[in-house]
Structure 1
Amino acid sequence: MSRTSESVHVWPVAAAAEGNLSSMWNSLVRHPWRLLALLCLIQIACWTVMPAIVNVGPPRDVVEGFLWGREWVLLTYKHPQLPCWLLEISHLLTGSFRWPQYMLSQLMVATTFVLVYLLARDMMGPTRALAAVLLMPAIYFFGWPTPQFNHDYAQMPFWAATSWLLWRAARDGRPGWWLFLGLVAGVGLYAKFSTALLLAFGGIWILCDTRARSRLATPWPWLGLAVFLGVVAPLAVELVRLDFLPLTYAEHRNAWVIANRARLYYIGVQLAGLAAVPVVLAISGLLRRQPRPVQDPLLAYPAPERRAVVYLAWMGLGPALLIMAASLFTGTGEAWGATMYNLIGVLAMALLGRRLGPTELRRLAVLALLCVVGVSSAYAATRWTSCNILGRLQPMCWPARSISLTADAIWHEAVSAPLGIVGGDDGTARLAGLEAPDQPSIFTTLDRRLAPWITDQRLRDQGMLLVWPRGWKLSPQQEAWTAGLPVKTVAFNWSLKGPPLEINFAVIPPGRTSFPGNPPGPPDPE
């Protein structure tokens, strides 16, 4: 066939393909929710599959959440337990500990995308709202850390929902918005107590904004407050019953961060996590000096009112800036700010939206796709290489299933009854109990005050399996529990390069009548 005849056949095919892509893109632009749904599906798929492929063991917070979730308590010494309930439900529905936690985390992120879109759509129309969400994958906290489902990610959609519902309630004044706001705000505290920070900023905004303050003359905000108080009342009662242990934990955590982190560490991590946002804005063309004239009527939408911009800055930046300032004087975990940047994209579009045209929107979509696919692929490659080539023992490298099944076998070699309790080194003991068929409870730090589901009567009836890494320096409390017990050591392969991981197991059979007491002094979560 001649070169000319080849081109006759090839070019029409290429032109048809280009036309199909153009038609598909136009359809997505005219129905922004479709592109939003596509982004959510890609986020869920990539960040569920990639970690599930390479992570042999779940992240540390996830293992802890699974073990606490099966206790169905309202509150532990650390946090409220909504995230742990969700993890337990995910296991009950799927029967797996390998992938549901990753999907659960991405469902939280995707829900946050949708709620942010709803808020932005109310302020600046659907297309700019879509652009605001397309900026979010460029934020570090919506990518790399998301496989570790914990309280920070469980509260993320509640922050976004609270911001949206408060804006709607103040704007429309309808009773349903205020009542729903009270419900969501209350449930948000079951995800993490730091949700109260956003609620405080929301309360201040109500008092300062003229229109929002005028709503206080109606009964609906007060009924919403009553709903909120009714929802959080059980949590408050449990907090008192536990003698405010979560506050003690926060104090211990602050002291550890101050002792082990530089003064500017937290601020540096937050700025690094946001560093890609101005890069994406620049590449997309939204930072150019002179905006292009917008010819597409779908993209022409009035700029948000000044009141909306103030709201976004206050709710979207206020809590984050306050925590940054506080980190100079107190200990603040670097992941604590993860949920505070939901509105960065909306604020950026409120300020730069007049520059948004078809070209800029297309670039934002491509960059969002690259962020999700590229970063999740880099995560998988990095984790696998770190475990198998570099031989760095990280939580995701631990062979969780092998440890659990071995623990179960060692227990049943000595005891015919089910394995009911595991303890010792918390991290290793959790892995031993995670996938054990008998679903044992974790005896946290061997301190009954931190694990109120463990009693001496239960220890007498069920016994306990003690687990700790070989060579681990035992604390006095751990030595008291392991003294005189026969120890079995098992080696586990976890890496193509690293040496086997050796773990000690010791059985305390049922029927023992005396046990060491709690550690001296107040409970020490660390």
Structure 2
Amino acid sequence: MSRTSESVPLWPAAIAAEGNLPSIWNSLVRHPWQLLALLCLIQIACWTAMPAIVNVGPPRDVVEGFMWGREWVLLTYKHPQLPCWLLEISHLLTGSFRWPQYMLSQLMVSTTFVLVYLLARDIMGPTRALAAVLLMPAIYFFGWPTPQFNHDYAQMPFWAGISWLLWRAARDGRPGWWLALGLVSGLGLYAKLSTALLLAFGGIWILYDTRARSRLATPWPWVGLAVFLGVVTPLAIQLVRLGFMPLAYAEHRNAWVLANRARLYYIGVQLAGLTAVPIVLALSGLLRRQAGAVQEPLPAHPAPERRAVVYLAWMGLGPALLIMVASLFTGTGESWGATMYNLVGALAIALLGQRLGSAELRRLTVLALLCVVGVSSAYAVTRWTGCNVLGRPQPVCWPARSISQTAEAIWHETVPGPLGIVGGEDGVAQLAGLEAADQPSIFTALDRRLAPWITDQRLRDQGMLLVWPHGWTLSPQQQAWIAGLPVKTVSFDWSLKAPPQEISFAVIPPGRTSFPGDPPGPPDPE
């Protein structure tokens, strides 16, 4: 199929005029980008609506992201803050904490679909590129975890974009591709520092591949490198200023994983997340050996060249396999896997694409849509049942708005000024500040090192609302902090079956001359 014929629009009226489903299907096959758009729209609609309907509160990472996003800092002790900025922007644009984060996550996933399609189209043509994307909803990481928008999902399109731009830049050698590669690579580090792993694999491939290596004799890769360095310099400066705290946090998390997870836990999770891919390949017929030519052959396109298959395997599986091996010894990678499987579908179709006919593509389409609709529906049923029938306390069960409104009301009963700071047990303290009209700051772990926006002067001028759930023990310093102050405990309904959750609030008014010192180390990852 020529690029020209692929780009001719097929309007809905024209589709309807054809009058029957086979004609509609044939038209979509002739215009793969329209079927790709349909998949993206269904992904966004299902995975935005289902969580928004059943989740009373946002997932914990999302609440933390909202609270950090309003501070507009470049870097925290955990990660760069691009995902948190995006959450804050979504709130500023919509005024809601209920559904924008779910749509934001699906926009990232759908953008990844599109970028993988563009890379696969360059390698094996538009129809097989579509088949590659149709395999992606079968991967666990593009479904069930996506309502929790965090750094892994924010960096997902950057990984796909870097893979596509590097292939294009090495293939064509044009200045624009190298400049775009430098820009996107730099911005990817603002999503999560682990993007550096993919950049390392990309750099090794440039040195390995003859055609890519020859581009180093031109100025444009080096100009792209200069763009990259210019983009990441502010991040590097802030990393030094914070004493490399994100790296210390990663080390702390790895130690926690080694102490609390089985040695093969990470590898098991990754393999389980990919289990549905061979099943979908088998059901679609792509694992069946064809006796002759495929029935209803698709538009002809040459098989991918060997270097392209090597590229997909290296960039698509290399980082994931390395982290699997590292996890056996260091604990690294527990939360890294989500973004590392963007190219699994492209690699599978590069190897099996000659078996792809219209019937196989039709089955892939049906299976992809079933995965999106079925898994999102199962998510909704499971989450609602977990909260209301089984009574399992999860962050999405907590009534965020009610907690925020209660916290603000308790504050204003004592202090006429705005609620500026909330702290205590991070989970409920973040919920207390999330939807408060005063937009308070979170005093993360009551540690000034982890919340540099909280200063002694702010604490003296604004005071703080201390918040903690039933069963959480105040430290001796915190008990001294609220000595003589009234504590109000409120019960919040969160389940149709389980008893209410009790949350305690203590108003520490402005004017305190001293506060307890910082506790040692970051909080546990769990």
Residues 467 and 506 in structure 2, CA contact (< 8 A), matched pair in contact too: yes
Cα offset, 1:480, TM superposition: 4.2
Tell me, yes or no, if the aligned pair for 2:249 and 2:522 is still in contact at 8 Å: no
Q: Indicate the residue corresponding to 1:266 in structure 2.
A: 266
In 2, the alpha carbon distance for the partners of 1:347 and 1:291 equals 23
Counterpart of 1:353 in structure 2 is: 353
Long gaps (5+) in structure 1: 1-15
| CA shift for structure 1 position 264 | 0.2
Equivalents in 2 of 1:381, 1:233: separation in Å? 46
Q: Which one-letter code corresponds to 1:53 in the other structure?
A: I
Native 8 Å contact 2:405 2:436 kept in 1: yes
**1:421 matched to which residue of 2?**
421
Partner of 1:203: 203
Query: Is 1:518 aligned to 2:518, yes or no?
Result: yes
Name the aligned partner's letter for residue 208 of structure 1: Y
Partner of 2:76: 76
Q: Aligned partners of 1:304, 1:182: CA distance in 2, in Å?
A: 26
Shift in CA distance, 260/83, structure 1 to aligned 2, threshold 3 Å: same
CA distance in 1, matches of 2:468, 2:153: 29
Task: Give 2:215's aligned residue.
Answer: 215
Equivalent residue runs for 1:59-458 within 5 Å: 59-290=59-290, 292-294=292-294, 296=296, 298-458=298-458
Residues 446 and 477 in structure 1, CA contact (< 8 A), matched pair in contact too: no
How far, CA to CA, are the matches of 2:426 and 2:231 in structure 1? 32
Cα pair 2:57 2:396 within 8 Å, conserved = yes
Q: Which residue pairs with 2:9 in the alignment?
A: none
CA contact (8 A) 2:316 2:343 kept: yes
Most deviating of 464-473 and 66-75: 464-473
CA contact (8 A) 2:297 2:357 kept: no
% same residue: 86
Can you give the 5+ residue segments of structure 2 that lack an aligned partner in the other structure?
1-15
Match of 2:7 in 1: none
Residue by residue over 1:360-409, the C-alpha shift from the partner in whole angstroms, topping out at 9 and shown as x without a partner, is 00000000000000000000000000000011110100010000000010
Cα-to-partner distance string for 1:305-360 (whole Å, 9 max, x where unaligned): 00000000000000000000000001135331100000000000000000000000
Q: Give the C-alpha shift of residue 301 in structure 1.
A: 1.1
More displaced 10-residue stretch of structure 1: 459-468 or 288-297: 288-297
Paired amino acid for 2:438 = D
Counterparts of 2:134 and 2:19 in 1: how far apart (Å)? Answer: 24
Which residue of the partner structure matches residue 9 of structure 1? none
SS in 2 for 1:512: coil
Cα distance in 2 between the residues matched to 1:80 and 1:426: 19
Matched to 1:164, the amino acid is W
Q: So what's the TM-score if we normalise by structure 1?
A: 0.95
Aligned 8 A contact 1:299 1:357 in 2 = no
* Paired AA for residue 118 in structure 2: L
Superposed displacement of residue 299, structure 1: 3.1
CA distance in 2, matches of 1:29, 1:475: 64
User: For residues 28-67 of structure 1, what are the structure 2 equivalents within 5 Å?
Assistant: 28-67=28-67
Q: Assess if the C-alpha contact under 8 Å between 1:77 and 1:242 holds in 2.
A: yes
- The CA distance in 2 between the partners of 1:190 and 1:163, in whole Å, is 17
The whole-number CA distance in structure 2 between the counterparts of 1:195 and 1:254 is: 18
Aligned equivalent of 1:6 = none
Give the deviation of 1:298 after TM superposition.
4.0
For the residue of structure 1 that corresponds to 2:37, the secondary structure is: helix
The one-letter amino acid of 2:479's match is E
CA, structure 1 residues 283+298, in 2 after alignment: closer, same or farther (shift >3 Å)? closer
1: CA distance, partners of 2:442 / 2:164? 39
The 2-side partners of 1:395 and 1:490 are apart by: 18
SS in 1 for 2:20: helix
Is the 1:118–1:129 contact (alpha carbons within 8 Å) kept by the matching residues of 2? yes
Q: For residues 477 and 55 of structure 1, do their structure 2 counterparts lie closer, same or farther at Cα, with a shift above 3 Å needed?
A: farther
* Secondary structure class of the residue paired with 1:78: coil
Contact 1:490 1:504 in 2 (8 A): yes
Residue-by-residue CA offset, 1:463-518 (whole Å, 9 max, x unaligned) = 10000002212344543433332100000001000001100000011111111121
| Alpha-carbon distance change, 334 to 292 in structure 1, aligned in 2, over 3 angstroms | farther
Contact 2:389-2:497 within 8 A present in 1 as well:
yes
Structure 1 stretch displaced more, 74-83 or 22-31 = 22-31
CA distance in 2, matches of 1:216, 1:523: 43
Partners of 1:404 and 1:370 in 2: how far apart? 38
Contact 2:296 2:359 in 1 (8 A): no
Cα distance in 2, alignment partners of residues 427 and 321 from structure 1: 33
- What residue number does 1:5 align with? none
More displaced 10-residue stretch of structure 1: 480-489 or 173-182: 480-489
Alignment correspondent of 1:8: none
Is the Cα contact below 8 Å between 2:323 and 2:333 reproduced in 1? Answer: no
Q: Distance in 2 between matches of 1:79 and 1:296?
A: 50
Counterpart of 2:189, as a letter, is: L
Residue by residue, what CA displacement relative to the aligned partner does 1:73-108 show, whole Å, maximum 9, x if unpaired?
A: 000000000000000000000000000000000000
CA distance in 1, matches of 2:341, 2:291: 26
Label 1:178 to 1:400 Cα distance change in 2 as closer, same or farther (>3 A). same
TM-score by length of 2: 0.95
Number of matched pairs: 510
CA deviation vs aligned residue, 1:2-56 (integer Å, no higher than 9, x gap): xxxxxxxxxxxxxx99961111111110000000000000000000000000000
Judging changes above 3 Å, is the alpha-carbon distance between structure 1 residues 460 and 292 closer, same or farther for their aligned structure 2 residues?
Answer: farther
Aligned residue in 1 for 2:5: none
1:306/1:274 Cα in 2 relative to 1: closer, same or farther (>3 Å)? same
Counterpart amino acid of residue 486 in structure 1:
P
**CA distance in structure 1 between the aligned counterparts of 2:294 and 2:462, rounded to whole angstroms:** 72
User: Which amino acid in structure 2 is aligned with residue 52 of structure 1?
Assistant: A
SS at match of 2:329: coil
| Structure 2: distance between partners of 1:175 and 1:44 | 34
Give the CA RMSD over aligned residues. 1.5
